[in-house]
Amino acid sequence: MSGRDGPDGAGGPGGSGGADGSDDATGAGGVPDVALDEALAAVAGEQPLINSVTNDVTVNDVANVTLYWGGLPVMSDDEREVGDMVGIADGCLLNMGTVSESGEETMLTAGRAANERGIPLVVDPVGVGATPTRDRVADRLVTDLDVDVLNGNYGEISALVGDDAEVRGVESVGEYAEIAAAAVECARKTGAVVVASGETDIVATETAAFEVDAGHSMMGAVVGTGCMLGATLAVFAAAVDDPVAAALTGTAAYGLAGELAAEGAFGDYRGPASYKIAFLDAVAGLADASTPDIVDRIDRIEVR
Ligand SMILES: Nc1ncnc2c1ncn2[C@@H]1O[C@H](COP(=O)(O)OP(=O)(O)O)[C@@H](O)[C@H]1O
Ligand SMILES: Cc1ncsc1CCOP(=O)(O)O
Ligand SMILES: [Mg+2]
């Protein structure tokens, strides 16, 4: 871990330590007693500055969703400056969606600065499994850096651990019956808390796996929802001390926003483009919306 509490570390807003079920700080069924309202209040109170080195396709969405959660976005990605910007940030996101040769080096510079500063480092290995270049860059990021939270779709997480995976461009294609086991193996390989996104999200550590039942199929119809999940995880990891509680809370909050948008709570929509607007408004308005207790959306699952 990057100088921060690991999954057994001290708790904090939004969750209490031992979120991998290793001590008595968990609730029923070995699920940590995460609290959405506490996490959202912590984000609002801390207003974490998040530096994202991210792709050209969704950079504006990543910036806005960071802001709408209550963080402060900055997208510094120049080798001459990024170390200094991460040096004053509270969290760092690396998203390799359109990584260039210089961008690869800049991501390593930013990641090393985050590790040295002891702030949360989130990595989204976009498109790993699609090309040898992406396989090499992703492996370099998780090997050379101390990653706190790693998020990818089912295909990307499976590809990272060498399981059969079909990643077409950046989209996960096919069935992944063993995704929970792949996520735990990925956590063991990288030392990160792993979020495997899909119809049901999986949050995994080296010793525990949780299903997060929140979200809507319309989220899968919008480019950028995985990238924006990475930004969400960076914001929550900067405000919630325990990285597992942060990942569970951020993933659940994100899915709840997707559900509220699909229900029309933040405006009608006619298709994926207008849904995206409603989704972003749901993120911005979640703190004021009445939301269910997210503990009821999280189930610990047994993984061999
Ligand atoms: N069919 C679905 N049902 C519910 N939520 C979904 C569905 N597809 C995607 N999501 C949600 O959308 C977000 C992005 O997931 P995903 O599409 O897997 O990432 P990516 O965009 O990187 O491929 C996640 O929060 C995930 O839970
Ligand atoms: C289409 C595309 N190509 C390179 S990055 C990118 C966006 C990927 O966004 P997400 O992973 O959220 O679907
Ligand atoms: Mg993605």
- Is 224 one of the annotated binding-site residues? yes
C-beta neighbour count of 239 within 10 angstroms: 30
CA distance 11 to 245: 8
Q: How many residues are given for the chain?
A: 304
pLDDT digits (tens, 9 = 90+) for 89-131: 999 999 999 989 999 999 999 999 999 999 999 999 999 999 9
304 residues of the chain, pLDDT tens digit each:
343 443 433 334 454 444 454 443 466 668 887 899 999 999 999 999 999 999 999 999 999 999 999 999 999 999 999 999 999 999 999 999 998 999 999 999 999 999 999 999 999 999 999 999 999 999 999 999 999 999 999 999 999 999 999 999 999 999 999 999 999 999 999 999 999 999 999 999 999 999 999 999 999 999 999 999 999 999 999 999 999 999 999 999 999 999 999 999 999 999 999 999 999 999 999 999 988 789 999 999 988 7
| Nearest atom within ligand 1 for CA of residue 124 | 22
| Nearest atom within ligand 1 for CA of residue 126 | 22
| Nearest atom within ligand 1 for CA of residue 170 | 23
Query: Would the pTM count as exceeding 0.90?
Result: yes
ipTM over 0.90: yes
**Is the minimum distance from the CB of 199 to ligand 1 under 6 angstroms?**
yes
| Nearest atom within ligand 1 for CA of residue 219 | 12
Residue 285, phi-psi category: left (phi > 0), alpha (psi -120 to 50), beta (remainder): alpha
**pLDDT of amino acid 31:** 84
Domains of the chain: which residue ranges? Answer: 28-301
Residue type, 279: F
Residue nearest to atom 5 of ligand 2 (CA): 97
**pLDDT of amino acid 16:** 41
CATH class of 28-301: alpha beta
- Is 151 one of the annotated binding-site residues? yes
Residue nearest to atom 3 of ligand 2 (CA): 97
**Is the minimum distance from the CB of 9 to ligand 1 under 6 angstroms?**
no
Closest to 277 measured CA to CA, from 202, 232, 222, 230:
222
**Is the minimum distance from the CB of 233 to ligand 1 under 6 angstroms?**
no
Closest to 19 measured CA to CA, from 186, 204, 175:
204
**Is the minimum distance from the CB of 257 to ligand 1 under 6 angstroms?**
no
Q: Is 194 exposed, middle or buried (0-12, 13-18, 19+ CB in 10 A)?
A: buried
Question: Do 226 and 137 contact (CB within 8 A), yes or no?
Answer: no
Average pLDDT, the chain: 92
